[in-house]
Structures are given as C-alpha cells and as structure tokens.
C-alpha cells in the first residue's frame, strides 16, 4: 500500500511585451511555454502476473496571445474595451511498459489539442448606468490515439478512443447595470452556439455529429439602502454544451469486462438557477452569505446503462438525466484583526438529487460540506499563513451506487510563507497536511465499493513540502 513513486520535472517560460499606442490604448503580446515530465513506478499494479509497471508521461503546452486594451473614462460612448486573440497547442504522450510473467506489453497513448480563440469586451457608462457587451469564440481540434504492443484479448492496437473532433463554441452577451436611488437592476442576455464535428478516419465506431444553440437571460436586483449591507437576488438560465468525449467514446476492455459507448442522442444541459444573498463591507470586514437552488433539464452524467451482474459486461455511457436539482448555502468572512493579522472563514454545503426513469436518487457528484479557517500575518518583507480545512464525511444514504465506500470526515492543516528578498527575488515555502493525516477525498473515491481491496491507493497525499525561488525581471 505504499504510494506509487513519482519523479516530476516541470519547466515554465513566460514572456510579455507591451506597447503604449497612446495614453488610452495599449498593445500586449504574451508567449508561454510549459513542459512536464512524470516518471512513475506503479507499485499498485503489481500482482501475481505483473512483476513491474513503469509509466512515463510527457506533456507540453505552447500559448501565444495578442491583446488590445482601451481605457478612457472621459470618452463619450465607449469608456473601456479589450480584444484578445490567442492560440494554444497542447500535446500529451503516455508511455507504459509492463513486465509480466508471460508476454510483456507496452502502451503508447497520445492526446492532442489545437485551440484558437477570440474574446472581446466593451463597456459604456452614462453616469451611474453601465452597459457591458462581450463576445467569446473558440475552435478546438482534439485528437487521440492508443498504440502499443501485445493488446489485451478482444482489443486492437492502434485504435482511437474517440474520433478526431472539431469543437466550436461561440457566445455573445449584453449586460446592463442600472441604478435608481438605493436600487440596482442588473439584466443580462447571452446567446450560445456549439458544434461538434467528428472525423470517421481511423475510428471504428459510429461518430456522432452534434450542434445546438440557446438564448439565456439573467436578472439581478441589489438594494444599497443600509450601510455595509447589500441584499441581492438573482435568477438566471444556463446552457452547457456536452464535450466531445461525452458524445463520442468507444473504449472497450474485454479482460475487465467493461466498455464505454457513444450517445448519439445526448442533449446540451440547461439550468434554471435562483440565488438570494447578503453582502457586507463594514470596518474592514467583508462577508457574504448566499443560498441557491439550481434546477437542471437534461443533466449530463456518466452512468452504467447495462450490466453489473456477475459475469456481465458493464457498459458506461454519458446520458441525460430527466431532472436534477442542486441546492446549498455558502458563507464567507474576511477582515483585518489589526494592521498585520488577517482572518478568513468559509463554509459551503450542498445537496443534490436527480431523477431517472421516474426514480428519484442522490447525485453522487455533490461534495460533502466543507469549512475552512485561515490566519495570515503580513509584514513588510514576509508573510506566513495557516489554513485549517475540515470536510464532513459522505453519508451512505446520499450515495446512489450500491455498497459504496463512504470516507469519514477529515481536518487538514496547511502552512505557507514567503519572503521578498529583493524587488526581483522572492522565496516561498509551504507544508501541506502538516499532521500527516490519512484521509480520502470524496471526489477521488466516488464509485469505489466498501469491499474494494485498493482503498489505500486512493488516500490523499500525506505531509508535503514545497520550496520555490522566483525571479521576476
């Protein structure tokens, strides 16, 4: 049950250059490159037939952008505006070699993304009234390939886990902020469209083409009649497009007797959200309390659609649930105890349910309640901070899966500090999970059964140390 050893090397390069075109306009170019190499020794995969498993993951990401910004509070009609054009290439390669008592095998998997996009936003002010307009558009070309030697029985290599896909998103919005006395009205309207166009080249299963559009309004109301306290209410409609992997997926593991299949009838997710809250800012203390109730139509969830009995194949598919509801409460408080010390408190709790084929059941993806306390001391050249996080345990009656593993609650203490050595150099250090607490996060173990023999492999990291020396030129 030892953790799988990992050796990681990460290199990041970021450069920006700006040019003032005038007192109101600025042009900026940014270039960023990230490479990362992970070397694993997968002790958890060893068995009577697997003597050793080593895996090498290499990823790289290059991003470039050019942006234009305009800021002129004295302009007659357009006071602020920005436009950014960006391009990103991301590549991931995962290579694994398995030393077996029979025939050794290897895997060589690749995942590529080429993303190009445009964002634009403008703001118009008339005294206390404001209108904001925006546009987002992107095109993402995704591709994947599974390769290697000695394929499992019933599997074929090379193969594609999903078809090469052209994924396009376009959205535009307009939002107003209109003030009359102590009241502020914030109406907004957004238009979204997505299209998902797969290629059948090299993909053996049926590839599904999908597109959809939606117009979603939003309305907010604020009252500023009391000093330091602002009650507000908000209603909004939402729209979420399915991802390419949710629509088209064709992976099968005959040895383990499971597979994932595409869903040609998958629909975009729609939401109807309501929120009531209070915000405050008094004597240097900022706080917020909010309660929300979100209703979803065609909620997207990956489910077991067939199988599960002993000896049968388990089939996974992303489907639309008939109805879903998530409601909860969130609270935050931040403020200065004195000139040096700052305190932060936060709490969040949610409950989710969904309906499928007329049966109401819990939403397993909803996290248990969490609370945190942070204390920070800020001096001229250095600061330190302690954060205490508590998460409640997951109740078995709030899990739909049968015989689930429901981890107990936990409390973790993290420490962090930094020292500004000079205007250029800074040093940051941190210790996470100071007490070396052994615990499980619900998001990591969701889907495991209480009788699983691999529970120890899913524990969160123990005590960790980090030290970063940074130069900003």
Tokens 């309501």 identify what position? 274
C-alpha pair distances (Å), 439 with each of 75, 200, 388, 450, 462: 57, 44, 15, 15, 9
**pLDDT tens for residues 407-416?**
999 999 999 9
Report pLDDT for 447.
Answer: 80
Cβ atoms 424, 376 nearer than 8 A = no
Who contacts 394 (Cβ-Cβ below 8 Å, separation ≥6)? 368, 404, 406, 407, 442
Distance CA 168, CA 211 (A): 9
Note the pLDDT of residue 238: 94
Higher confidence at residue 196 or residue 309?
A: 196
Contacts for 271 with CB less than 8 Å, ≥ 6 apart: 236, 237, 238, 239, 240, 294, 295, 296, 297
Q: What is the average pLDDT value for the chain, to the nearest integer?
A: 92
Q: Nearest-CA neighbor of 136 among 177, 175, 190?
A: 190
Nearest alpha carbon to residue 57 among 8, 126, 124? 8
Q: Which of 138-152, 300-314, 315-329 has the lowest mean pLDDT?
A: 300-314
pLDDT digits (tens, 9 = 90+) for 270-294: 999 999 999 999 888 999 999 999 9
For residue range 419-447, list pLDDT tens digits in order.
Answer: 999 999 999 999 999 999 999 999 999 88
């Amino acid at each position: 049950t030892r953790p799988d050893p990992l050796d990681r090397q990460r290199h990041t390069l970021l450069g920006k250059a700006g040019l003032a075109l005038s007192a109101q306009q600025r042009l900026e170019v940014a270039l960023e490159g990230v490479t990362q190499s992970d070397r694993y020794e997968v002790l958890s995969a060893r068995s009577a037939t697997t003597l050793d498993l080593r895996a090498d993951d290499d990823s790289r990401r290059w991003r470039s952008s050019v942006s234009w910004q305009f800021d002129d509070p004295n302009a007659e009609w357009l006071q602020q505006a920005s436009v950014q054009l960006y391009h990103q290439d991301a590549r991931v390669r995962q290579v694994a070699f398995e030393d077996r008592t029979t025939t050794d095998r290897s895997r060589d998997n690749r995942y590529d993304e080429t993303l190009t996009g445009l964002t634009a936003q403008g703001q118009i002010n008339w005294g206390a009234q404001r209108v904001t307009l925006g546009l987002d558009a992107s095109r993402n070309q995704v591709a994947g390939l599974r390769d290697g030697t000695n394929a499992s029985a019933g599997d074929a290599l090379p193969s594609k886990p999903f078809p090469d896909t052209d994924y396009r998103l376009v959205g535009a919005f307009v939002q107003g902020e209109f003030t009359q006395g102590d009241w502020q009205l914030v109406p907004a309207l957004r238009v979204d469209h997505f299209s998902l166009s797969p290629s059948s080249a090299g993909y053996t299963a049926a590839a599904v083409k999908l597109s959809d559009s939606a117009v979603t309004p939003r309305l907010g109301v604020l009252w500023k009649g009391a000093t330091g306290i602002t009650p507000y209410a908000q209603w909004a409609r939402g729209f979420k497009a399915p991802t390419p992997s949710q629509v088209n997926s064709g992976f099968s593991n005959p040895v383990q007797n499971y597979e994932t299949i595409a869903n040609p009838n998958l629909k975009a997710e729609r939401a109807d959200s309501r929120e009531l809250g209070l915000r405050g800012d008094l004597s240097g203390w900022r706080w917020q309390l909010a309660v929300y109730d979100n209703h979803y139509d065609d909620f997207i969830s990956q489910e077991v659609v067939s199988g599960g009995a002993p000896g049968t194949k388990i089939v996974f598919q992303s489907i639309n649930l008939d109805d879903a509801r998530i409601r909860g409460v969130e609270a935050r408080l931040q403020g200065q105890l004195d000139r040096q010390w700052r305190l932060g408190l936060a709490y969040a709790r949610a409950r989710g349910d969904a309906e499928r084929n007329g049966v109401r059941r819990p939403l397993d993806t909803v996290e248990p309640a969490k609370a945190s306390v942070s204390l920070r001391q800020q001096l001229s050249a250095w600061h330190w901070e302690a954060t205490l996080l508590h998460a409640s345990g997951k109740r078995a009656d709030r899990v739909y899966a049968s015989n689930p593993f429901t981890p107990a609650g936990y409390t973790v203490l993290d420490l962090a500090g930094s020292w500004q050595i000079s205007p250029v150099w800074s040093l940051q250090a941190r210790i996470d999970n100071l007490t070396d607490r052994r615990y499980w996060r619900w998001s990591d173990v969701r889907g495991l059964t209480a009788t699983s023999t691999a529970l120890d492999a899913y524990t969160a990291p123990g005590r960790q140390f980090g030290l970063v020396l940074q130069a900003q030129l």
